[in-house]
Structure 1
Amino acid sequence: MNIGDKVRMLRAKEQGIVTRFLPGNQVEIEIEDGFRIPVLRSEIVVVSPMEATRFKPEPIVDPKKPAKPEIVGHVGFYLAFVPLSERGSVKELEVFLVNNTDWDLPFTIGEEREARYTGLHSEVLKARSFTRLGQRYSLSTFENWPTFLIQAIWHRRGAMTLRPPLVKRIKCRAQTFQSHSGPVPVVNQPGHLYQLDVEDTVREEPAKPKAEKPVNATALRESLMGMTDKTQPTPVERPSAEVDLHIEKLLPTGFGGRTSADLLQIQLQAFEKNLENAIASGMDDITFIHGVGNGVLRNELHRRLGKNPNVAYFEDAQKEKFGYGATKVKIK
């Protein structure tokens, strides 16, 4: 067996290419979607060129079986403020726009100050990416920060349900700014973030004029300075070492008429939340129980794990306990 050989697993359907040899009589193979997994040498066999060409199985199409639903991340568009520390203190925050969805987002962002609008930036923000706007805002002038106006259009290639354009106004309030602290997705830094594609951010939009308490810039600065001295800005709920993603566990009261695609999204949202919390709380590893089924959920979990920069590797977990129905994730 050499690097570059095509191999297949003895107890699973995956095939891949040997990319390197690992300690402990293991090899690393690259399977579909470009991600790599460690496998024992005793669990794989080399596929000969003749076998690959002459005995390639033809795909079996069952016309009565419905097509597998496409798994798409629909939510996760954020405006984020990341502190810039200088000699242990925080004086300014830098502005990011983060797209943690599977959609491309042509967007514009600008400032509103009374009746005046100033454009700041525009571009196409690709799926699972972020952009640093270059704008910085000082804590000493927090009470004079503008209202941020973000406009975006949802775009994906191919046929799909049309989504209405997004228009969101965000006005940061001193009374609630600290409550928006947390890890910023994709950027992987602590900061203050406002989710733009959910309705609860409406609390930060301009409301009817009312008397507000004076902003204590010193107190706000000190609270942010304390945040940079910690690995986690706010307490993060530490998930269980084993997370069951079976839909019966996630929806114990019933499915409520949801479609298969809806149920898959619920499972993926539970996976993303528990993985992010495991990373943020400093766990070494976490196991997701996804079952065997038709492999749609397992394959999507593996695809996302293969792209996550905080994942060292992942593998089938305790086959004698879970069979091939669980994946163990080792966190960096």
Structure 2
Amino acid sequence: MNIGDKVRMLRAKEQGIVTRFLPGNQVEIEIEDGFRIPVLRSEIVVVSEMEARRFQVEPGLEGQKSAKPEIISSSGIYLAFVTQSGPGGVKEATVYLVNNTDWELPFAIGEERENRYTGLYSEVLKSRSFFKLAQPYPLATIENWPTFLIQALWHRRGSVSLREPLIRRLKCRTQTFQAHSGSIPVLNQTGAVFQLDAEETVQAEPVKQETAKPLNATALRESLMGVAEKKEPAAKEPGTLTRPSSIIDLHIGKLLPNGFGSRTNAELLEVQLQEFERNLENAIASGMDDITFIHGVGNGVLRNELHRRLGKYPGVAYFEDAQKEKFGYGATKVKIK
């Protein structure tokens, strides 16, 4: 088997051309849809010239297929991590940018470390395809991984809709990494998968001519190159990767404005702790430097439980009483690694 050979899969219908050889007894093939996928050598065979001629579709037959209505999928952009064993048996995560929409994505992806940006790749990601980052990341050092910055434009030939560029930051932590394990679209593998466009599930409306603003080509180009001014991500629904407020009020009256109902004190405490856990996880995952929790003074039960749990978080550098002149002794400031 050589680069340039035409091959077909033993357990699927796809055929393609060998483009390069990969570690782990794998090869990369470019299939008919135009994107490249890794496949085990044992799962493919070289197509002989005689076989290719015999199974070639006769001209004109494709046009006889019944046309199906176009179904437009406007959401489904993911950053996914597949775990594998690297040299010496070290567990590593391979990173994929996955496009499971009907849009093409001119994109740029880079790393942020201590407010310094390093560009990694810029390509055009076709519909229903993925892009694999060449550099794997050791799982043992996940807490020290950089923040991934993904920037992309939405493009579809003939589209009359204009969508805001996609700009997302993702900081991986052990807890959030494990919590997002699942099936990766398009790639058809299992790993940690984060949807980057979860809030953009509705296709943008066509831009009215009288209100449309002219596109600034220079600004868009600079945005893709990572030199544009950083844009804070918009707020999302609970449960998604968002950057929470830097100050979180855990007073039960704030969390349950419609009343406590028949909840016991233990159940009310659990409501507060769940709110604390969710915001702390999102703060760590989105790369925040610190976050402050207002818990009040009271009998100290909530404060003591927060401090006990903070002491076990690997992503927390330290925690302390927040600005006494502002909060008294009723708030804790958490410094994130």
TM-score by length of 1: 0.43
The structure showing larger relative contact order (alpha-carbon pairs under 8 Å, at least 6 residues apart) is 1
TM-score by length of 2: 0.42
